[in-house]
Amino acid sequence: MQVAISSLLLVLILLPQALKAEGPSVLRLCYQLQDHPPFTFPANNAQAPGPGILLELIQAAAEQAELTIDWQRQPWKRCILALQKGEVDGIFPAIWQAERDTWGQFPGRDPQRGQPVQREYRLWQVDYPIATRLGGQLSWDGQRFANLKYGLSSPLGYLTRQRLADLGALNSVSLQPDKALLLVASGRLDGFVIERNISRALITELQLQEQLQFLPQPLLQADWHLPLSQPFYQRHPQQAMRFWQALGQQREMREAELRQRYMP
């Protein structure tokens, strides 16, 4: 009897530790402070078809993986910094680049073994067109720009901004997307680069459809991912993989419906 009681006490002592080892029930995720329809909408927007494509996908994946999301919003560069410091467990959306292995764990990526990011666990496939003034002289052949005058802009912390800098085409002044598009329309900025659907929504909101155009070739085509912090992944690799797998499954199941609802 005494042995049985001792065994029961041992189980009760070890149970909380075992449960904790399975992983946390809350996932702290950071995303950009500024809303970007159709991917994120303001919470109080009664006209929106929902919270946004990304928020719906991530919420559904979290429920499938039995996780609760602690949504946190900051400027994008602060989200990256918070991930590096382990103050949040993940950020979205992010495009993989080799240098980003230092601050985030992308799904399936193992730089030591040369394993690439697993595309099937992506959030969304996107492209970044170049919005220019209708009738403007700027051209882009996929390798270089011609007829640059004022340079182009893209949001702080975006891979597209670094790409423009590498091409010697970046206007270094930091601008909010709406301000940048207005400058492009007025001929005081050569172009602005952001994800295609976000750009379309902004152009429509600003009523610039008759003043702006997209160049034929985008600056960038890529996959959006949800990288997790290195500390979170090292502590909970199985839970991280379950969550990424759930993301991929939810996107496959719901992409057509989400496109129809958010991108009619």
Print pLDDT tens along the chain (264 aa): 454 444 444 434 444 444 444 567 999 999 999 999 999 998 888 788 999 999 999 999 999 999 999 999 999 999 999 999 999 999 999 999 999 999 999 999 999 999 999 999 999 999 999 999 999 999 999 999 999 999 999 999 999 999 999 999 999 999 999 999 999 999 999 999 999 999 999 999 999 999 999 999 999 999 999 999 999 999 999 999 999 999 999 999 999 999 999 998
Q: Cα separations (Å) of 132 from 30, 142, 149?
A: 31, 15, 12
Same domain, residue pair 167 and 202? yes
- What pLDDT, on a 0 to 100 scale, did the predictor assign at position 19? 40
**Same domain assignment for residues 138 and 181:** yes
**Residues in the chain, how many?**
264
Decide if 218 contacts 128 (C-beta within 8 A).
yes
Q: Does residue 235 lie in a domain region? A: yes
Note whether 165 and 240 are same-domain residues.
no
**Range of the structural domain that residue 158 is part of:** 126-221
Sign of CA dihedral 166, 168, 172, 174: negative
Residue 15, domain member (yes or no): no
R_g (Cα) of the chain, nearest Å: 22
Cα(86)–Cα(127) distance, integer angstroms:
29
Is residue 22 in some structural domain? no
Read off the CATH number of the domain in which 109 is found: 3.40.190.10
User: Do 111 and 137 reside in the same domain of the chain?
Assistant: no
119 and 131 assigned to the same domain = no
The pLDDT of residue 22 is: 57
One domain, residues 37 and 110 = yes
The C-alpha atoms of residue 225 and residue 230 are separated, in whole angstroms, by 15
Helix axes 177-185, 196-205, angle to 10 degrees: 70
Residues 130 and 210 in one domain: yes
Question: Nearest-5° angle of CA 68, CA 242, CA 21?
Answer: 70
Residue 147 structure tokens = 């007829």
- 95 part of a folded domain: yes
Adjacency order of strands within the sheet including 26-32? 68-74, 26-32, 90-92
109 with 239, same domain? yes
Say yes or no: 81 and 156 in one domain: no
Q: How many domains, in total, are found in the chain?
A: 2
Looking at the domain assignment, is residue 67 inside a domain?
Answer: yes
Residues 57 and 118 in one domain: yes
Answer whether residue 20 is part of any domain: no
| pLDDT on residue 43 | 82
| 3-state secondary structure (DSSP) of residue 199 | helix
In a domain, 43, yes or no: yes
Q: Are residues 50 and 118 in the same domain?
A: yes
- Residue from 167, 152, 150 nearest 214 by CA: 152
258, 244: one domain: yes
Residue 236, in any domain of the structure: yes
Question: Is residue 249 within 8 Å of 120, Cβ to Cβ?
Answer: no
In sequence order, what DSSP letters do the residues of 122-169 get, joined into one string?
-SEEEEE-EEEETT---EE-SS-EES-SS-EE--TT-HHHHHHHHTT-
| Alpha carbon separation from 43 to 34, 55, 114, 121, 233 (Å, rounded) | 12, 11, 41, 26, 30
